[in-house]
Structure 1
Amino acid sequence: MGASCSPDGITAAADENAAYEIRDIEFDAEGATLRGWLYRPKSDGSAAPVVVMAHGYNCLKEFYLDKYAAAVASAGHVVVAYDHRNFGDSDGEPRQELDPWAQVRDYRHAITFAQTLDGVDPDRVGIWGSSYAGGHVIVVGAIDRRVGCVVAQVPTISGWQTTLRRIPPQALAGQRRAFDADRLERFRGGPPKMVPMATDPAAGGAASHASPDAWEFFTGQKSPPEDQWRFRRWRNEITLRSLELYSEYEPGSFVERVAPTPLLMVVGDNDTVTPTDLALGAYNRAGEPKRLVLFPGGHFAAYTDQFDRAARAAADWFSEHLRPST
């Protein structure tokens, strides 16, 4: 692959034949330091557009975000790719807590950081997000007019509707009681309650993402040997409050407000993690200009066998709208 990271987390420089260079970056997000990678295309010195990228629910940037960044950078864009707060190399407490609105604000901090970089055209900014962050970029694209182009891949559309599909109705009352008990314990100074992110289908049990394809992806068990390092730092736990925050999050309610900013949605035709029908409904509500890429497969195919198609679509969309003269 074009960009790679070594198993110990150190970014490896692109080889001299690559179309871009890579270095580690960090930036302030209201007191929390967020860390990631900067991809800078080799160019004639003229200012380039910039794309801000972050990953999905309990995903580290090592989960193939580098490959997406490389594809977009190879098309002539500077790329800022980073770990969400509370995860990976970024700071933030409590660890393993997913707060969607904090992540939305951090996208906007990342945009501000990206606009200050040498060699960046601050008036040509794109954002890319996948899964949970696919919902975030819909929100950011709707409320932040610095954004000139949006790519939402396998996006979260409705936290509540998705929650209803993951949790049996008879279990909702018990989950609410658990939320309330956790809130009280945290108020008293106790640690946040942790719950599994994924579960082995053979063993059973409750988890945030209980589908077999989630277990296979997050544990890396079907990834090739050269990619096994990507999954070594992943932790199979999140805070219980992350589930509560997820159930309250409705990024699809912002989709009508993205236009006139161009919106590309990349959707799997058999996605049960961020359900296909919810994504298609949101796409139909979105205004022009917009484009839909519907690939065969489930949620995680976007990172594996459908990667080339998804990455090419994103790079082409950014080029069309951020580099119209090329």
Structure 2
Amino acid sequence: MTEESATYDRGDVEFDAEGATLRGWLYRPKPGGSTAPVVVMAHGYNCLKEFYLDKYAAAVASAGYAVVAYDHRNFGDSDGEPRQELDPWVQVRDYRHAITFAQTLDGVDPGRVGVWGSSYAGGHVIVVGAIDRRVGCVVSQVPTISGWESTLRRIPPQALAGQRRAFDADRLERYRGGPPKMVPMVADPAAGGAASHASPDAWEFFTGRMSPPEDQWRFRRWRNEITLRSLELFSEYEPGSFIERVAPTPLLMLVGDSDTVTPTDLALGAYNRAGEPKRLDLFPGGHFAAYTDQLDRAARAAVDWFSQHLRPRAQDDGRGGPMITTRTT
């Protein structure tokens, strides 16, 4: 797939990640002729790149950046087995493979790399920013902060023991060569039933009900299932424990003021623990507002942060470094 605009070109891209081929889009800014900073992007929990990742990538590319935006392993166009399994630490490693790949691209400045992630990947970029010093700037949108704390809010206490038994049974079945147990991602609140994300807004978003008719194509390949092990792995994942280690890498956090999927209070608590330089953009709405009515605001904030800390060379101030600007909200 190729696409052209007045400010960037987009084409399909693939790269190796420990033997698995990951696929996505490469955006190159126009005009060429000088090396550009690069931003690596991936989406959230059981999300495909078609879930508006292209809009964020286009906004960043239009500001003069190369962008690598890809599907996580086991999802969408990327390879990987078992399908529909979310392993956060594998996804973190894949971010780092994507950075390595991006640094090899013609026209890219390998010394100016940014990472952007949303939801589950919003947690991943906190980890990557903390442990990979190739990263020069981090944008973490509606991030997962604590898998365990989020699990406790989603699962009634009396159901935790039964869930643990289900995890153990699935491990035994897999050991015996059986297929992984699958569970629904979302459930119709009118019908009830268990799901990984049982909130009404998750149902509305993942089934496309939040999106206008011209965007329904984005949801056609999405599958309403994940492996049961994905829930276990989520409950063990604590990206917020890395937040203090991101500094001195600049960190922008974009947080919805009424997010129940990646709870607002957990994100604000993590932000308060982060070192400088940092910025918080608290926008009105819940988790999925970042992909709907607040998308333009969130994209502008991300571009502003990258432009402050990874400014393309055409915008340098002539003294060999980026020209720093400030913005009030």
Whole-Å separation in 2 of the counterparts to 1:318 and 1:122: 15
Q: Which residue of 2 aligns with 1:13?
A: 3
Counterpart of 2:191, as a letter, is: A
Counterpart of 2:3, as a letter, is: A
The runs of 5 or more residues in structure 2 that have no matched partner are 312-321, 325-329
Whole-Å separation in 2 of the counterparts to 1:154 and 1:255: 14
Q: Which residue of 2 aligns with 1:72?
A: 60
Q: Which residue of 2 aligns with 1:90?
A: 78
Whole-Å separation in 2 of the counterparts to 1:303 and 1:311: 10
SS in 2 for 1:197: coil
Counterpart of 1:13, as a letter, is: E
Shift in Å, 1:304: 0.3
SS in 1 for 2:4: coil
| Alignment partner of 1:158 is 2:150 | no
Q: After the TM superposition, which residues 6-45 of structure 1 pair with which residues of structure 2 at under 5 Å, given as runs?
A: 11-15=1-5, 18-45=6-33
Whole-Å separation in 2 of the counterparts to 1:44 and 1:37: 18
Q: Which residue of 2 aligns with 1:287?
A: 275
TM-score, L = length of structure 1: 0.95
1:264 corresponds to which of 227, 237, 252 = 252
| Alignment partner of 1:320 is 2:308 | yes
Shift in Å, 1:325: 4.0
SS in 1 for 2:76: coil
Q: After the TM superposition, which residues 1-326 of structure 1 pair with which residues of structure 2 at under 5 Å, given as runs?
A: 11-15=1-5, 18-323=6-311, 324-325=322-323
Aligned residues: 314
SS in 2 for 1:236: coil
Whole-Å separation in 2 of the counterparts to 1:148 and 1:56: 22
Shift in Å, 1:44: 4.3
Whole-Å separation in 2 of the counterparts to 1:29 and 1:119: 22
Runs of 4+ in 1 over 4 A off after TM superposition: none
- How many percent of aligned residue pairs carry the same amino acid? 89
SS in 2 for 1:61: coil
Whole-Å separation in 1 of the counterparts to 2:211 and 2:145: 28
Whole-Å separation in 1 of the counterparts to 2:40 and 2:198: 30
Q: CA RMSD in A?
A: 0.8
